[in-house]
A and B are shown apart, each in its own frame.
Chain A
Amino acid sequence: MNRRAHFILIGLLALLLSSAGCLFSPRDPDGPPDDVADNWETPVTTTILRENLKAALEGENIGNISDCFTDDYVFEVDPSDYIDAGAEGDVRYADWGKDDETQATQAIFASASDINVTFINVESTDESGDDMYRREDYVLTIFWQSGQNINEEITYKGQATLHMRREQSSWAIYRWVDSRTVEPSENETWGVLRGDYRQ
């Protein structure tokens, strides 16, 4: 090792660290909130996780939505929804990950003025381990303030099989398998809504 290499290395390290100092300074918030909304509880159980997801949707809180899903999260659309999409099937649903989930949800927030969601548990596995699933019937009602259904209230129905994993203290969803309702329904699924708002 010669002195020149030392100088090069030290110089590059200094450059990297000085760059890092500038790059990693977050912004200051505008100020304290007018009203504190308590929409998040640490999801030490899967039921709390489901309630956090509901509160984040209804409160249109994209940060908390993101915290409900693992980084390797995948969404699987109902096979019939995929077939119905025809030539658009892959564009709408293929390789759906966490970024797609947050971006589509944020696009929905941008067009919705009011969101209500109800989950009804159909089946749960034991959560004493680190991996489990819950089967939930859902009813999602959205009043649209813009988009194709402007000034209309649309209800989406289906069933979600939520595969969840415990990481450290908290549970998060790593796979969402979407299904149409068992009985034929005029209502589209949450999966179709996701496809409509994929960026």
Chain B
Amino acid sequence: MKTSSHIALLLVVLFAVVVTMGGAAYGQTAEPPPVEDGEASDGEGAGAPGDTLGGGAPGDTLGAPADSLAGNAPVAMNEHMESFQNTGPGTRPRVAELEPEFHPVYKLTYKRDEGIGTWGHDFTMNYPLSKKLKFNSSASITTKEDEILNRENRQETWRAGLNYNLTGAVGMGVKFNRSYQIDTRNPGRPTEVETSREKETMDFSTSYSKTHFSGFSTSLSASAGIERNDYADITSNGSTQNVSATLGYEIVENLDSTVSYTGRHSVLDSKQGDFESTDESVSHALSADFDYEWAGHLFKADARRSYSETQYPKEGQTEQRDQESEGLDFSTEFQPLANLGMDFGYTYTRNQTYYIVETTRDSDIRSRSVNGKLDYSLGATTFSAQLSSKKDRSDQFSIQTGDTYSDSFGTTIMHTFNSKLSSTFRGSVSLLSFHYDDPEENDQDRDLLNQEATVTLSYKPRTDISADLLMRVKESQLIYIRTSRTGDNKTTNTYSIQPSIRKVFSPTVSVDQKYELSADYFFYTFDTSSNSLIRNFGVTTDLTWRIMDRINTTFTHRYRGQDEGSYVEGDDGIERYGKSSERDTHTLTILVRYNLFGLVELEVQQDYNVSMKWVLEGDTRRLSWEKHDTSLQGKASISHDLENGTKLRASVSRTLRDAPNINERQQDVWNASISLERTF
């Protein structure tokens, strides 16, 4: 029997014993024992220890956060020691008293989409064994079968643990995690290949969290455990230790501060093939936050620094990744007038990563940015503007080394003329600029300039009619700096206008119509013979009719026309459009929805699509191709909650299609999703 199985079995037996004892002690009644003076129920105390033993540990390592747990610690400890209780001012109010009820939750899900079937089983079992002792467990199994690629994938995650609140401020825990992932290609065939990863961790943790008085709190936690990790050709066993501490203090009135530290250390004996190594990893993270509020204005300052060394096997060698990060944020929020708000901010970050084996991946990236924002309102008009500027310095120890500048400005003006008419204007401009240190070896220096303006008008002359108009102008420039690349320099101009109208004829009938007209111009700076134009026109009409209370129908017709061609300058210096091709697409859709007994939603949808393309050669317009596509889709879905807490969500659909250029599998497609959740 595997170690993991032993541990799981041990936990299950432990749980059974404790449930039996706990059940006997409390008689499975809703009447909990009286709460003793000075004791804090679960959740009390700043920083809420409760079930947060070992918090602060990163990722999926030992001492991972939250649901760690605790052994059956001696209850006879002096529970009334003032230092280990949260009783003073600033503590949170007492929560509801214990009602030890046992409610496992099981959830089954199934989804089938385009030949990929996914099953999911999730089981959660939490039980408050006593006011201080909690059992937590969960299991999740997901399997995925891809018929097209002939792949099977299975992921399992098992968790179990105990949390024990020794006092209102001190907690302990023990936790076991197991995850397993296997990916199988060509299952059952001679070419079957399996790739798997298995990871087991177990950790013991303790925490202390205390609100000493209003505005001052401390939190400490530590955990230690063992880890076993198998993946590909690598196996590792070892232990980890975590420690975290947080100090919260209100220095003066309205000035709050928080200082946090998290540390982690692990030693894993790793083996990759014949290569054996002892991998030692360590990390430290320190952060400090300060918030000050004065006369309605807010000032914030955050600083952080972290360092880590991570060792792991890599192609027969011990790889070490060293990471060092630091960051600083300042931000202010002013409100000098009731209708005027201003924000300013500054951010600095530096991230350094170094490898011993893969030195080509080393990097040192520094970033500085400033930003400002202004909001102003006057009567029916509101105005806002944002400006930001950022510089990144990237040292990649290769020809990627260089600077990146990113600047943007945006503004929005909204005005309500009257109860029927309102408008919005949005404008923005941004410039992204890449500067590399070695232009001889790296010729990708470039600027990307984007400018965009949109105007939206909304008009509602009567309660049964509403109309909208959207107008948009956009210009994008791609400018390579080096001559070896400037052949690709281009400017794209887009102009579009989209009017739409909605008319409600009766409580059961309404019509929507939307027009779309746009033109995209492509201008090449040094290759004007490649300049081109694409024009689009589209109309979408929707008729919605509620025939009966439970029957709804929607008829939709969509037309889209597109033509394209060159847009080059003639001998007379005037640019002209030389259309080379046209396309038309018509789609007609009929959708009927019927609600059966208020329980099952049925849908039937039929689509008919015609697409045609013509090629223009001189004065001749020749049909290049014509495609007809029909599809019929039936769908049934249900969403139902039973009185016993069971939730059922299901949907199944089948689509039959007849179209050229689709394979046999695409002619008949089943999609389904089922979710069943039962709380016992």
Contacts and interface: CB of A to CB of B under 8 A. Distances in A.
A123 interface: yes
Nearest to A86: B231
Contact of B336 (A8, A32, A106, A126): A8
Contacts of B490: 40
Contact of B662 (A12, A80, A126, A199): A126
A130 B389 CA distance: 35
Contacts, number: 198
Interface string B129-152: 000000000000000000011110
A35 B609 CA distance: 44
Interface in B443-493: 444, 446-449, 477-490
B431 A24 contact: yes
B589 to A, nearest CB: 11
A34 B232 contact: no
Interface string B366-402: 0000001010101000000101010000101011100
B496 interface: yes
Given A31-B483, A42-B532, A148-B360, A128 B478 contact: no
Interface stretch (B3-11, B66-74, B190-198): B190-198
B451 to A, nearest CB: 8
B124 to A, nearest CB: 25
Interface string A156-185: 000100000000111000000001101110
B668 interface: no
Interface residues of A, number: 66
Interface string A1-24: 100010011001100100110011
Given A23-B389, A61-B488, A148-B358, A169 B409 contact: no
A44 B585 CA distance: 14
Name, among A24, A148, A179, the residue most crowded by chain B CB atoms within 10 Å (CB to CB). Answer: A24
Interface string B415-444: 000000000000001110100000001101
Nearest to A179: B149
B661 interface: yes
Given A32-B483, A63-B446, A128 B431 contact: no
Interface residues of B, number: 96
B679 interface: no
Name, among A1, A35, A87, A184, the residue most crowded by chain B CB atoms within 10 Å (CB to CB). Answer: A87
Contact of B534 (A34, A35, A80, A169): A169
B629 A86 contact: no
Given A27-B479, A80-B183, A5 B196 contact: no
Nearest to B535: A169
Nearest to B446: A63
Interface string A110-147: 11000000000001111010000001000000000011
Interface stretch (B22-30, B88-96, B519-527): B519-527
25 contacts: A1-B378, A13-B374, A13-B385, A19-B387, A24-B431, A30-B481, A33-B485, A36-B527, A44-B564, A62-B444, A80-B185, A83-B183, A83-B196, A83-B197, A86-B197, A86-B232, A86-B234, A87-B312, A110-B398, A111-B360, A126-B659, A126-B661, A148-B358, A183-B191, A199-B363
Which 5 A-B residue pairs are closest in the complex by CB-CB distance? A33-B487, A80-B195, A26-B447, A23-B407, A79-B183
